[in-house]
Amino acid sequence: MKAAADAGMARAQVGMVFAENPNPPLAPGDPDPWFDMQRDYVDRAAAQCYPGAYFIRGNFHFKPDDPRAPSQPAYMDFYTLELILRHRFDGVPAQRLEALAALVQEEREKLYHYQIVEAENQALINYHEACTR
């Protein structure tokens, strides 16, 4: 799968997020190059307009100690995902879109107005850069 991810296949790049690290760090404070590689794969898949990458990136932005804390970057990625599913894919089940809309709304309610505007503007930029080439 790593070879496919290295070759640029977005599905494999996203799949690498779930691959287990063959050489985990020995101590909790040690750097983890595997985690950095996984983030890079997700960013590369997002640049190819792969919807799953935006969902994973959105989840990367939550703080492990307080996942209910506001996260402007998470809102931006979830909003970008919503744009992709609504404008790039026909036949997405209504239940999925409703669930995503509820998630986007939940994250939106945690933010200040200026953060919402900034995140939505960046989501539009992300969408156009990745999906309208």
Where are the domains positioned within the chain? 1-48, 51-133
Contacts 24+ apart (CB under 8 A), 106-110: 107/70, 107/71, 107/74, 107/75, 107/78, 108/75, 110/68, 110/69, 110/70, 110/71, 110/75
**119 pLDDT exceeds 90?**
yes
pTM score over 0.85:
yes
* Mean pLDDT calculated for residue range 10-16: 95
Each residue of 102-113: pLDDT tens digit?
999 999 999 999
Number of H helices, E strands in the chain: 7, 0
**133 pLDDT exceeds 90?**
no
Each residue of 81-99: pLDDT tens digit?
999 999 988 888 889 999 9
